[in-house]
Structure 1
Amino acid sequence: MTAFLLRPALGDDARFLADMLVEAANWSPRNQRPRLQVLADPSLALYVSGWMRPGDGGVVAESSSGDRIGACWYRLFDSSKPGAGFVGGGVPELTLGVARQWRAQGVGRELLRGLCGMARAAGHARLSLSVDHGNFAHRLYVGEGFVVVASTERSDTMVKILR
């Protein structure tokens, strides 16, 4: 496995987070959408629009050569403008994206663990997410302690208790 490091996400990482949102949205090789289409979708754009707002937090993975290879971040939403994995006010919803060539090398797991630690340190008791049925990341989330709290025809909403 190639070495990589985690660091806190910064305001300057906004474009990279958008890249990782596109990676996350295009998890299925059979259903690929162009970057502009993903970022023009209001239900997806809300995860990166205006990054970094108060309450946002995240971690970025960098290869040993300094290239950014993945990111995991959270945002707070309220019931008037919820994200797909919204479970309640004050519960951050996370997004995880890893560059295709770095998948299945432990990057996503380390990003997820780093973000959970960051959220716990910030005083959050839970994290939520939404994951499409069939997405290979579902196994990662279950393995890291997330449980399904709601399900639709298309996706599961999952929550992890941090304390």
Structure 2
Amino acid sequence: MTPSTTPCQARSAQMADRFTRVELIWVEKSVEHWIRFGLAVREEILDRRRRVLSFRPGSRFALVRWAANEHGTVESRLDILCAPRAGEAYQTVPFVDPGGVLLLRTHGWPKVERMLQIIDVIEAAGIDAVEVSPDHWRHVHNRLAAGERPRPYSPTQHRAWLKRRSVQP
């Protein structure tokens, strides 16, 4: 901290550089955590079954968590998150430090599988899932939670989002 820097400014600068860390675990047919989409800026390999990915503030990613025991699947979850910026409110999520701005959350294999298909359709249209409008992910979350079919994400809608994003401060 320089003499002209206030403690508040120093903390804000420190938080701006803070990455969101996601611990991924892979124990075949037991515990499987993976990133479906997202641009990690750093990877740390802890051991042969665990690694940690780091995401810049504001970046979006999808985390899939699956676990089973001798009786079958015990957990299936998919979360689409935005890495929080300094001062931004966020939700705590297991294996995500400090947490993330929740755009979509679903659980149960049929819903997780449906979300993976929705992501595949978006990418098949030539759109990077990382760049999809956060509003669309919220729309999909709400429609799936209500048992309704979400509207598809079109290239026209995507171009409008990119234009809107380019003029936002």
Under a length normalisation based on structure 1, what TM-score does the superposition of the two structures give? 0.26
Tell me which structure has the larger Cα radius of gyration.
Answer: 2
Between the two structures, name the one with larger relative contact order (CA 8 Å, sep ≥ 6): 1
